[in-house]
A = this chain, B = another copy of it.
Amino acid sequence: MSNYTLFTPGPIDVPEEVLQETAQPLIYHREAQFGKLLAGVSNHIKAIIDGEDKIFFLTSSGTGSMEAACSNTLSTGDKPIVAVCGKFGERWLEICTTYGIEPIVIKNEFGRCIEPEQIESALKKLDRPTVIFTTLTETSTGALNDIQSFGTISKKYDSFLVVDAIAGVGADPCPQKNWHVDMLIGASQKALMAPPGISFISASSRIVKKIAESNLPRYYFNLQLYEKFLAKHQTPFTPAITILYGLKKGLEMILQTGVENHFEHHRVVAEYVRQRVAQMGLNLLSCSPSRALTVVKMPDHIDSTSVLQEVKEKHNVLFANGQANLRGKIIRIGHMGNYDVSKMGKALDALENVMKQRR
């Protein structure tokens, strides 16, 4: 079906073993066998992220879990903090606005990270604890935020830290308990190596208590329902069962490698990609790059759209373009999950080949 290999920052080139797992016959989501599956996936994720109390699984893209995180922790009149340094940070803001919430916005130019001091300064302005929404790995720019420092500050002010870790989880370390993250949001289609269809929220017991107090409307994303069904290792609505099969397999592959080895593998691959693009004379968009993807700026006279087109057509390699006003100006190279130096090498040879002709 596909005539190119994905080097996009999600969905990824899913391992064949995972794809085959998703083709297993269906089980019924109200039976013990499903409970075993969900508990297995949950335990595996906890091992990888140093997970907190409860993991809620939603059949949705990561954005669905982001919306659930907002609509289950906020109430009318709340003043959360939204820390934005890219398109996916802006999504937190859009979701809050949808629900009539007017957050305190920390916004840095795309590519720059949020400074921990910016979070602390916003918290100081408030006279009570609040919820802080931010991003681990900003997929639109390749920037990695310093969640560990954010967590320390959040704890100091008795606040709640909610992190979109969708693109980073499994590639960029973010130990939830150790770093005081109250909600960590992930999805199946990135470094956890499965096809898209499942997202999840790993929640601390203190933020789970907040859900009952929140008054924003939600039904499909009502985490109180998910909590009730979680007691039986079930979901309130029919889940994407075969995607969970795949996710379990992807997680098992990570655990077989070893969690630390898996993160180290991503560091090595990311380092290699950065050396290669530096050799091509390309600069990174972010000064604090993630291990999950590498985002390079195009020289002013080159349109990335045509480069990407040519790389795809001549070499069957698909990188991603920039989004919104970064379209045509950057190339986003995904290396989360199922990629190694040799595979990245071939893809970067293709990019080098096409770039050479544009000098």
Chain A interfacial positions (CB closer than 8 Å to B): 1-3, 5-6, 8, 10-14, 19-20, 22-31, 33, 59-64, 67, 94-95, 98-100, 187, 189, 195-197, 216-222, 237-243, 245, 318, 320-321
- Contact flag A62-B238 (CB < 8 Å), given A2-B33, A3-B33, A6-B28: yes
Residues of B with C-beta under 8 A to A318: 28, 31
Which residue from chain B places its CB closest to the CB of A96 in the assembled complex?
B219
Q: In the assembly, what is the distance between CA of A221 and CA of B95, in Å?
A: 11
Across-interface contacts of A26 in B (CB, < 8 A): 2, 6, 11-14, 189, 195
With both chains docked as a complex, state the minimum distance between the C-beta of A165 and any C-beta of chain B, in angstroms: 15
CB distance from A305 to the nearest CB of B (A): 12
Q: Which residue of B lies closest to A237 (CB)?
A: B61
The distance in angstroms between the C-alpha atoms of A239 and B220, with both chains bound, is: 17
Contacts of A3 in B (CB 8 A): 33
Q: Which 9 A-B pairs have the closest CB atoms?
A: A197-B240, A61-B237, A23-B23, A19-B23, A195-B242, A61-B238, A11-B26, A197-B197, A64-B220
Min distance, Cβ A168 to any Cβ of chain B, angstroms: 15
24 contacts between A and B (CB under 8 A): A1-B27, A2-B25, A2-B27, A5-B25, A6-B26, A11-B29, A11-B238, A11-B241, A14-B25, A14-B26, A22-B242, A26-B195, A59-B240, A60-B220, A60-B237, A61-B220, A64-B237, A98-B218, A187-B238, A189-B238, A195-B242, A196-B239, A196-B242, A243-B243
The secondary structure that dominates the A interface is loop
Q: Pick from B197, B219, B242: contact of A59, CB below 8 A.
A: B197
Bound complex: CA A146 to CA B26 (Å): 31
Check if B217 sits within 8 Å of A217, measured CB to CB.
yes
CA distance A31 to B321 in the complex (A): 11
Q: Decide if B61 touches A239 in the complex (CB within 8 Å).
A: yes
Task: Name which residue of chain B comes closest to A27, CB basis.
Answer: B2
User: CB-nearest residue of chain B relative to A5?
Assistant: B25
Q: A2-B25, A25-B2 are in contact. Are A63 and B217 (CB under 8 A)?
A: no
Give the distance in Å from the alpha carbon of A94 to the alpha carbon of B24 in the complex.
34
Contact in complex: B237, A240 (CB < 8 Å): no
The answer to whether A240 touches B196 (Cβ under 8 A) is yes
- Apart from A30-B320, A95-B219, list 12 A-B contacts with CB within 8 A: A1-B24, A2-B33, A13-B25, A14-B25, A28-B320, A67-B219, A98-B218, A100-B217, A196-B241, A216-B217, A240-B243, A242-B242
Which of these, B30, B222, B238, contacts A196 with CB under 8 Å?
B238
Provide the residues of chain B in CB contact with A8, threshold 8 Å. Answer: 28
Residues of chain B contacted by A19 (CB below 8 angstroms): 23-25, 242
Which residues on B sit within 8 Å (CB–CB) of A94? 219
